[in-house]
Amino acid sequence: AAAAGFLCERIRAGFVHFDWNGIRAGLGLTLSAGINQWREGLGPEALLAQADANLYEAKRRGRNCVVPAS
């Protein structure tokens, strides 16, 4: 989960500096992400449902952030 959070933060930060052929796009791109971590007894549906809930929490927080597994 920590590695996933680190990767999502790097991608999110990359959106701020997005450019096309050396020209900054200025598109105002942002990234919201929700992360979850598999635990014993957690099925795929529950795993994705919690990641999705974390994604929507990121959006409720104002977007452009990563909400890690709880």
* pTM of structure: 0.78
Q: 39 to each of 9, 36, 48, 67, how far by Cα in Å?
A: 23, 9, 12, 18
pLDDT of residue 60: 96
Average pLDDT over residues 58-65: 93
pLDDT of residue 6: 93
Residue with tokens 């977007």: 63
Nearest-angstrom CA–CA distance, 31 and 34: 10
Nearest-angstrom CA–CA distance, 22 and 61: 32
Largest separation between any pair of C-alpha atoms in the chain: 48
